[in-house]
Structure 1
Amino acid sequence: MNRAQLIQIAEDTINILNSGKYFNSKRQLVNIKELVDKSIKESILIEPTEDLKSKLSQLKAAGRVEDNKEGIIEVANETTLAGAKRLLDQGYKKVACLNFASAKNPGGGFLNGASAQEESLARSSALYPCIVQMEKMYEYNKKIKTCLYSDYMIFSPDVPVIKDDVGNLLDEPYLVSFITAPAVNAGIVQQREGKENIQKIPQVMLNRIEKILILGILQGCDAIVLGAYGCGVFRNSPQNVAQYFNTLLNEEAAYKKYYKKVLFSVFDRSSSQENYKAFLDLFSN
């Protein structure tokens, strides 16, 4: 699809979200206002200073979370929403999707026809109004002088998805939760920032991914859809990012055991399949 078509789909999505209803392919009226309003109202901003690890320890000590789940890890060459829908169809109850977010602009460039992962999520769902209200995160990331960015993140529960990945309206919406968190923009850090910040990239990414995984657990998600986080325009190496996830899911705290399913939906149409292969090679055993 070209930029003009993507803009048209995005504008149509915004109009539907504002009206709270649409007609599906069967000419049935689908009311989504209550679902949209609820997901906006219940979205929460996580401050960088929040100690999510301690919260998890407290819940575990109280027997309110368990780390003895199946922890199945799967890698698939598919979009984030295709993966999420598949998990819901398989019976997982609350699926979280990681939104590879812009640090400074809610929805990235989806209103301007950009086509990365966050934009595709915003075109298909009620994600945008859930995150655009969290001005504090975006203003902070604009203000700080590093593209390491901050550990601000947003959790948006039960967000209605109303379109497929090519913009067709669904006969009925399905609900997924979104974790909106920007990766380090490694390309800019390496080009424009000093050696000290370049050396921080691995630890900052590890810490941020750990918070993402814990946030999904704290919010009661039994499955999470991850991917090649920060491996597009932010230029993180897919091999490095896959290893960050492996360290946290399989080694150290073994966070996979808090989930029934961990899915890496790595949508890779390149001839080299570098992003997809990096995750497949590491997690296919």
Structure 2
Amino acid sequence: MGRLQPSVGQPPASFRRAARAKRAKATLNTLIPSLLAAHPRARRGIDSAELILDPPRASSPASTSPTPPRITLRVTDTLRAARSLTSHHPRVALLNMASPLHPGGGFLTGASSQEESLCMRTTLLPSLSDAHYRLPDLGAIYTPDVLVFREGTSDDAPVMEKRDRWFVDVITAAMPRNPETKVDDDGFAAYADPKDRELVAAKMRMVMRVCRARGVGAVVLGAWGCGAYGNPVGEVARAWKRVLLPKSGKKKPETWEDMDIVFAIKDAGMAAAFAEAFGEGLEEEEADEDDEEEEEESEEGQEMVDLRMRIDELRVRVEKAPSPQLKQGLAAVLAGLEAQLPGNTT
């Protein structure tokens, strides 16, 4: 059913980005320091943040009757998914799908993907020390007790009352950016180099080992590295499945019993593609009313907005490429990104 009221026009994208950048600076320089003074637990969390490098294989909890992990998919925002888990688990973590180069990604310049949204709504950014960057391939920053102080993803979301604020642990790690991809006859993107597939699975396993080592009972993950970073959603979904639901073999598989695992993916089209590629073992949950309203208002997730912008830029670069070799290389990257668009079958 369509809208009953006419749409309200929005300012140009450049204006909105500039406004977000201004708000980001005020959040970091003024709001967060005042919140840390009022919430010593959040300050201790920042001071306790650590870079964890290539953690060892995790040992399963000493449970007399371990249960397989519960793996669900929700078309929702990362923090909203995490909030719903805090009433059932004493320690909840979420994956900050981060920039490998810059703490907070493009937060201070007005970008608005997942990492920037976390920085706008929580005390995460002060814990991301410059000394930890560039993030190692198999490394993650673990920040306990991150304070969540804004609810909702709109640019004008207010600060919550003190009694409504809550805490979550955050794992900050990065995926490869724009890996070389190929497109098969059915129009699906895949990694051109098998080493990228192996690296991605190793990164995912690293994240889960960090969770296990820190006593996390529930974790919110996502379509990590898809969208603007150009990792094929099918590859990412299947890699998560291999890590979370490993098949038995000669070596005892590394498993994640008793964990509650939620994939939070805001874009409905990407969520559908992820679920199809993951296949059996993933339970899809219906979006709640708030998520549906937010999706209708935005009409497409920021990840898809960033992806389309990247595609437009690459099309121009392909047209202006000074050599056939460069044109061919850029065209291959472009084809891989275009294959990420929902409903693309060519």
Decide whether aligned partners of structure 1 residues 256 and 219 sit closer, same or farther in structure 2, where only a CA change above 3 A counts. same
Which among 90, 96, 100 is matched to residue 97 of structure 2? 100
Structure 2: gaps (5+ residues)? 1-9, 11-15, 183-190, 248-252, 285-346
1:212 maps to a residue whose letter is V
Corresponding position of 2:328: none
Query: Quick one: distance in 2 between partners of 1:113 and 1:220?
Result: 34
Contact 1:17 1:36 in 2 (8 A): no
Corresponding position of 2:160: 170
Which among 116, 120, 134 is matched to residue 117 of structure 2? 120
Corresponding position of 1:19: 34
Q: Which runs of 4+ in 1 moved over 6 A?
A: none
- Alignment length (residue pairs): 247
Q: How far off its partner does 1:11 sit? A: 2.2
2:207 maps to a residue whose letter is I
Decide whether aligned partners of structure 1 residues 134 and 11 sit closer, same or farther in structure 2, where only a CA change above 3 A counts. closer
Decide whether aligned partners of structure 1 residues 218 and 258 sit closer, same or farther in structure 2, where only a CA change above 3 A counts. farther
Contact 2:45 2:146 in 1 (8 A): yes
Contact 2:179 2:196 in 1 (8 A): no
Decide whether aligned partners of structure 1 residues 134 and 220 sit closer, same or farther in structure 2, where only a CA change above 3 A counts. farther
Contact 2:51 2:142 in 1 (8 A): yes
Corresponding position of 2:73: 75
1:264 maps to a residue whose letter is F
Contact 1:249 1:255 in 2 (8 A): yes
Contact 1:95 1:221 in 2 (8 A): yes
Q: How far off its partner does 1:7 sit? A: 1.8
1:156 maps to a residue whose letter is T
1:152 lines up with 2:158 in the alignment: no
1:223 lines up with 2:232 in the alignment: no
1:119 maps to a residue whose letter is E
1:80 maps to a residue whose letter is T
SS across alignment from 1:103:
coil
Decide whether aligned partners of structure 1 residues 65 and 153 sit closer, same or farther in structure 2, where only a CA change above 3 A counts. farther
RMSD of aligned Cα (Å): 2.5
Which among 168, 184, 191 is matched to residue 176 of structure 2? 184
Corresponding position of 1:235: 230
Normalization by structure 2: what TM-score?
0.66
Which among 84, 92, 103 is matched to residue 86 of structure 1? 84
SS across alignment from 2:105:
coil
Decide whether aligned partners of structure 1 residues 279 and 104 sit closer, same or farther in structure 2, where only a CA change above 3 A counts. same
Query: Quick one: distance in 1 between partners of 2:175 and 2:274?
Result: 17
Contact 1:92 1:222 in 2 (8 A): yes
Contact 2:96 2:115 in 1 (8 A): yes
| Larger CA Rg, structure 1 vs 2 | 2
Q: How far off its partner does 1:9 sit? A: 3.1
Decide whether aligned partners of structure 1 residues 84 and 36 sit closer, same or farther in structure 2, where only a CA change above 3 A counts. same
1:40 lines up with 2:37 in the alignment: no
Corresponding position of 2:21: 7
Which among 208, 212, 231 is matched to residue 213 of structure 1? 208
Contact 1:67 1:258 in 2 (8 A): no
Q: How far off its partner does 1:158 sit? A: 1.3
Decide whether aligned partners of structure 1 residues 180 and 256 sit closer, same or farther in structure 2, where only a CA change above 3 A counts. same
1:110 lines up with 2:107 in the alignment: yes
Decide whether aligned partners of structure 1 residues 8 and 74 sit closer, same or farther in structure 2, where only a CA change above 3 A counts. same
Decide whether aligned partners of structure 1 residues 39 and 67 sit closer, same or farther in structure 2, where only a CA change above 3 A counts. farther
Which among 31, 38, 46 is matched to residue 31 of structure 1? 38
RCO (CA 8 Å, sep 6+): is it higher in 1 or 2?
1
Q: How far off its partner does 1:222 sit? A: 0.5
Identity across matched positions, percent: 26
2:44 maps to a residue whose letter is K
SS across alignment from 1:255:
coil
Normalization by structure 1: what TM-score?
0.79
